[in-house]
Each structure stands twice: as structure tokens, then as C-alpha cells.
Amino acid sequence: MATTTMSKPAMSKPAMSKPATSKPAGNKPAKVTRSIGSNTRADAVKSVLSLIKEKGVQVVDVKFTDLPGQWQHFSLPAATLDEDVFREGLGFDGSSIRGFQAINESDMLLIPDPSTVFVDPVLGVRTLSVICDIYDPITREPYSRDPRFIAFKAEEYLKMSGIATTSYWGPEAEFFIFNSVRFDQNAHEGYYHIDSDEGIWNSGSNGTPNMGHRPRHKEGYFPVPPVDRLQDVRSRIMLALIEAGVPVEVQHHEVGTAGQAEIDFRFGTLVQTADRQLTYKYIVKNVCHNLGYTATFMPKPLFGDNGSGMHVHQSLWTGDTNLFFDEKGYALISDTARWYIGGLIAHAPALLALCAPTTNSYRRLVPGFEAPINLIYSQRNRSAICRIPMYSSSPKSKRIEFRAPDPSCNPYLAFSALLMAGLDGIRKKIEPPAPIDEDLYELEGPARLGIKNTPGSLGEVLNALEKDNAFLLEGNVFTPDVIETWLEMKRTKDLPAINLRPHPYEFFLYYDT
């Protein structure tokens, strides 16, 4: 909900209102040149080895991303890291990672990317963190289910499409900071218990002297301390992010009581931003843990208050020209931007299978909690799924904001899918429904007719993805095995895990049946 500028330097020529006429890439595979032995890379490796000596690094932590979007890692002594590791890679068991290999083909390789290193600001032992790409050890080819590789292919596909040269991304991932959380589910009980010193429900507690000053439900945006009790915690997170190389723009309390927060970092290219998003989640959780708090990016941990979304700002550029700007267009957007929005809205049900991929996501995507469930676009309007920010009339700041994703998603997959949907809209000139500038939650009667909503469950969006995924397969960006594995993983693990267990509130509803 912050005001990320997402701007570039001033442009030297007028913005385009229509996409380039180059022939789209179609189903031709997006060729990604990622030589692990180039001169540029060799120079970057030497810089990393020098940094280890300069900073007194003792441990190198190698990180990679599983299919659901969680970082995995292992560590090695810094003295053992040499140029061969960046060239030959490090082996690991791919069969033990969610969404990866079968046990009979478990051997996989990690190739560190020297451009991603940072000295870890949350660990006590001096540790250098590096993000890795995943390769097959036999073919030495990138692994099709490596989420980061999919994101690289999406960027390459954009260039090959002839529509634009670069996409820029600015996610706004919200989260909660609690004092404690307990949860369990077994044969005879199921419960969760959250507590927060800042939670409005503690206004009447008497275990210790009660100082009052708490944000009420939906009133956490933007009271000053002492109502906002977590200013220093967020500031510590912000400083740790900056130390790790993440360019933070703003930190603030969010709408919810009990410590809902948002920290926004500057926009970047697709892979770069997805890397930063996982760094962001890692540092948020660890700074809070070290301070005696617990942070969660779960979309809807509290009933009766706002959930945590991840509004995603995006724009397309050719050189220094923002293709989304047109001074004569509605909300100053171009035909290209409108068609891009058309693609997002047309494919929204399928997109949510990757952008809001948990059962809990659909506790958030409901009316009445600022959730963007309406398949409409609009300027300034936060009740629409696509919003066009109007903070500035500058061509360089024009972008669109897709508001349905949440931070439980894998950012590499989510951003790639959004880009592919938008490009499909541009290629096919998909017109979105006419914009509506009124509060969509308040519309009734004839004014409400024809406005479609997002699906209401994970099962529905998985069905949508199964039927509507051809746009993701363009250019071999997503491959069928990725889609099939994702659907199987969600249908056989996530859905049964919830559907087979009694819900605590069912006892309230049905115990006296």
C-alpha cells in the first residue's frame, strides 16, 4: 500500500502507444545464454573471492529455491570456495526437494551466481550468501523446474517477442509480526493461538501493567508510536536489508492490528526482483526471530482483519521508453498497457494458481477486507484487481499494479506468469472490461451486473490453470512438466491436508446436529 515510484531516468523520445510489430516468438524456445565460463563471470568470481578476504568471511552459504518458493541451503568453509566451484558446481540430492527429482535421478548440481552475493546481516558467524542455479549433472543443462531458470527464460522471451526489451517489477509484500504463535492438529484436537502485545484483543489483559495504545482492527495505517509499537523492529529490518544490498524505499505499519507491516524496496528487473523478494522474506523472518518476535507472510492469519497481500507493480520498456505511458490515454496509459491489463484479467483465474497458491490465500480474497477480487481495472481504485497508480504524471513512473497476488507465492513463477499473461494480452490485443472508478464493494443492482470476481478457492484456480496454460508454454518459458508437477503437488498435498481435517469452527456450527 506504499507509494513505490518505479521510475527510470527521463526519456529522450516520446513513449510508444502500440507494441512493436516484430513477429512474436510463438512456441520457439527462449534461448537463454548463461555461460558459466564467460570473461564477465570470471571477473565477478574473482571479485567474490576478494570480498571473502576483505570482509573476513568464514562461511559460504549456498541457497536455491524449491518449486513452492522456499529457500533451501547448505554451507561450506569459505576457504574451500574457489573458481572451480563456480564452474563445476556443488552436488545435492534433488529427490529430497519439493517438486524436484525422483529418487532414481536424484543427483543435481548447484552453480553459484556470483552477481547475487551478500554478507549475511542476521547471522553471528561471518557468512557470505550466494544464490545458485540448478543444473543436470549429466547434460550440464539448466534444470527445467528450477524456478529461477523459468524467470530467466521469461526475460529472454520478452526480448525475443519484439514487444519490449525490459520489464520492471515492484512487489509490495505485507506481513505480520507476532509475539508468539502456537498451532497443532492431530486426531483429537486442532487449534491455533496467536498473541501480540500490539493486538487490540489485549486491551483488557491484566497479566502485566497494561499500557494501552493499540491499533484497532483495520486502523493500523499509519498511527505513530506508541500505538505503532514496532517502529524500531521494522527499522532494524530495513537496515539489515540495506546491508544485504536490497534498496529499501519505505517501511510502515499496515492496516491490520497486531503488527501488520510492509517494507518496500526499489523496483528492478524480473530475476533481480525475485531474488530480492526471497532475500527480503529471509531477513524479515530472521531479524524478528533474533529480537524475540515471529514474522509470517501467511496471507490470512487473523480473522476479522485485513490479510497480507503482495501487490505487484509492473511495466515494459524499450531502452529508455516506457511503453505503458500515453499522455492521451485513460489514466495516462497506452494501448500496450491496456492490452497487457487485458491479458492479466483474461488469465486471472489461472494466474492465481501461481500468484495466490495456498488454501489460506482464499481466506484473504473475499469482499470487505480491501482484497482485490473484482476483475476490473481502474485508476487509483484499490478495490479493482488492476490499479493504475496516479501519484505522478511523469512518463517514467507509469505502471500498472496487479493486486491479487500474496507473499505465499514463488516470486520467480508468479512474476514470470504475470509477464506471460500480459504479453499474451498485447499480442492478441485483448480488451479488458471498461474501467470503473467507483468503490466496487459498494456497487449494487444493475451497476454490479457483469463484474466478475476472482475464484473463491485453491481447487477452482488449479482447475483454471489446467485448462488455461498455453500462454505460459509460449517460448518454452514454462514447460509441461512444471505445470503438471505444480498441479499434482497442490492437489495431492495442499487440498487433502485441509479438506480431510475437521475445522474447529465446524464444532460451533454442527456439534448439536
In the structure grid, which three cell numbers stand for residue 460, read together? Answer: 477452482
The CA distance from 331 to 387, in Å, is 10
Q: Which residues of 63-78 are buried (b: 16+ CB within 10 A; e: fewer)?
A: bbbbbbbeebeebeeb
Separation of alpha carbons 495 and 117, rounded Å? 37
Long-range contacts of 277-280 (CB under 8 A, 24+ apart): 277/171, 277/173, 277/411, 278/63, 278/65, 278/69, 278/71, 278/131, 278/411, 279/118, 279/241, 279/244, 279/245, 279/246, 280/173, 280/241, 280/246
Return all residues near 383 (Cβ < 8 A) that are at least 6 apart: 370, 372, 374, 439, 440, 441
Residues 6+ apart with CB under 8 A from 68: 98, 99, 357, 410, 489
Give the three-state DSSP class for 270.
Answer: helix
Question: Which residue numbers are catalytic?
Answer: 93, 172, 174, 254, 262, 311, 382, 401, 403
Query: Would you state the cell numbers that stand for residue 50, as one nine-digit string?
Result: 576478494
